[in-house]
Structure 1
Amino acid sequence: MRPFLTKSPDAVEAVLGGIIASSRHPLEQVPGHLALLHRGNPSRRVRILVGGGSGHEPLFLGAVGPGMADAAIAGQVFAAPNPMSVQAAIEACTAPSPRSSVAPEGSLLIYGNYSGDVLNFGFAADEIRQAGGRIDEVRVHDDIASRPPAELEKRRGIAGDIFVIKTTCAAADRGLPFDDVLRIARKACLATRSLGVALGAASSIDTGKPMFDLPAGQIEIGMGLHGEMGVKRSAFEPAATLVPHMLEMILADYAATGSRPARVAAMVNGLGSTTILELLAVSARLREALGTQGVAVSFLRTGQFATSLDMAGFSITLMALDSELEPLLDAPCSSFCYSNPA
């Protein structure tokens, strides 16, 4: 790849400016930090903050807006956000605002389960607690390839972040108290499973070279968002056979934890350079395969939501739905990353 941006810090600053420039809703940068803030969710008693490394756009900075996160904090490419930036964003979110109809009870941090993010978000959360603030963390762990079912909460987070964030924000929009929003966030996290596949490596912004080696004609099932090793490397498969195979793996994972879903929301997510034409073909195969498996589909979203620079590949995410989660996931929202019409 020959990127138009050739230095990682320049790229992240440009992304932040581009999100602000493209937004239909007022966003503001937290002064001195790679963080965005939206003050237009006035009924919330709990402020929702999200974040992680850059390179996954439109996640995370793009997930801020009405019905979505109150703030997002970005790190450099594939690096966790600075803990001081996380703390500054929390303080900005919870400061008194004439736009808010209720005083905030506290803040909830939602981020992917990666060691750097755990360390830096955790450090910021400890600082807030020591200052007397109420705060908790939800570490999204939807990637079934990263750990076996018995170690589900040690898994890494990938595109499932989107469904968990959306559901939690809708709960906060109902004006629910802190404990209820936290319970729903954790429930949404446990209900969400994802699996990715790559057929080409992402290229470094700084060098333009592939970030890992995947021989031509092969695919890697279970590849992580940063190029982490998957569970299986094999000869190329077309969508017609690959998608049912991936779905079987996801449903088997649900079954291993005693929770095979009857009804789901689904997402087909492009990892950076996979064409919309291909993603739509994957979506058609996924809906067909879900029907064959007897799983009802509430809705299916297709697009680029959580990328890995220019990696060639896609991921499939399912959220098991019930009468509580489905209306929350389907509630209106608007952001660069993910929107539901009113």
Structure 2
Amino acid sequence: MVEDNYTFASEFILLGFTNREDLQVTSFVLFLAIYVVTLIGNLGVIILIRLDVCLHTPMYFFLSHLALLDICYSSTIIPQTLLNFLAEKKVISFIRCATQLFSFATCATAECYVLAAMAYDRYVAICKPLLYSVVMSQRLCVGMLAAAYLAGVISSTIHTVSIFRLPFCRSKRINHFFCDGPPLLALSCSDTHVNEVMVSAVVGFNVLSTTVFILLSYLLVLSAVLKMHSAATWHKAFSTCASHLLSIALYYGSSLFMYLHPGSRHSLERDEVVSVLYSVAVPMLNPLIYSLRNADMKNAMRKAKGRVLSSLSIHGSWLAERRELPFHGKEG
């Protein structure tokens, strides 16, 4: 088509999942439900950690920022996707597309390093419990978090610049539901080999380095746990690590599959399905994983529920008293 042949794309068309109107409505409802659950779940985790003094520890400090990152990069993708489900023309501007990629890549990269920091926290807590409060100081935790966000910004800058410096003269139709690296590289009419290598190198370094760090941390944890003789201690150690490992497996597995292979040799349709897992499903599942399998979080939820019920009971009694006042006043 003539409209697809030009050297500079002022806007792109996001093809999304399907052109069928009935499926678009169903997809809209599904994604909206996922987004609402994601926001409620992650905001709930953040509020719970802020309110409960027992959760003011390094582990939950990092968990609250993991929840914040999940909110941010879900909000980078899903609102635009919801709009496209209902819009007749599924257009996104060049600047907005670049901003979406930059924001998403920043949050996704920072999340890798936050997960690595959480693994280090578990290593210190289990392998060096007597030194935990000294090693995991507030200064170290803030420094690790700042480094995670800085790594996200640097990585996403390289990622975004290496892609958007290319001429997009082949087509402006992105075979995806948001502006992600591989489908954008597929649109360029120039040789993208160097750019593909650069993107894979940046993503590969972030993912593989943090993966190795996490695996090393948990190997040391496993070694320490196997030396313990108490079954109760075994159960407590594994229960505190299980949720984190499950979250890591979902996030890293899909990310590695998506990015660490050349763009010209894979199916964009298959990648679209995989990207739903790490960009939409994982942010929704993380609060459930950490809340349902974590004793401290469940205790905090029970206490919060008790406070809410108590507050409602007091408020209800006060309203009942207010309603009775005029009646007694007339009698007097």
Give the structure, 1 or 2, with the largest relative contact order (CA under 8 Å, sep 6 or more). Answer: 2
Bigger-Rg structure (1/2): 2
**TM-score after normalising by structure 2:** 0.31
TM-score normalised by the chain length of structure 1: 0.30
Question: As a proportion of its length, which structure holds more helix?
Answer: 2
Identify the structure with the greater strand proportion. Answer: 1
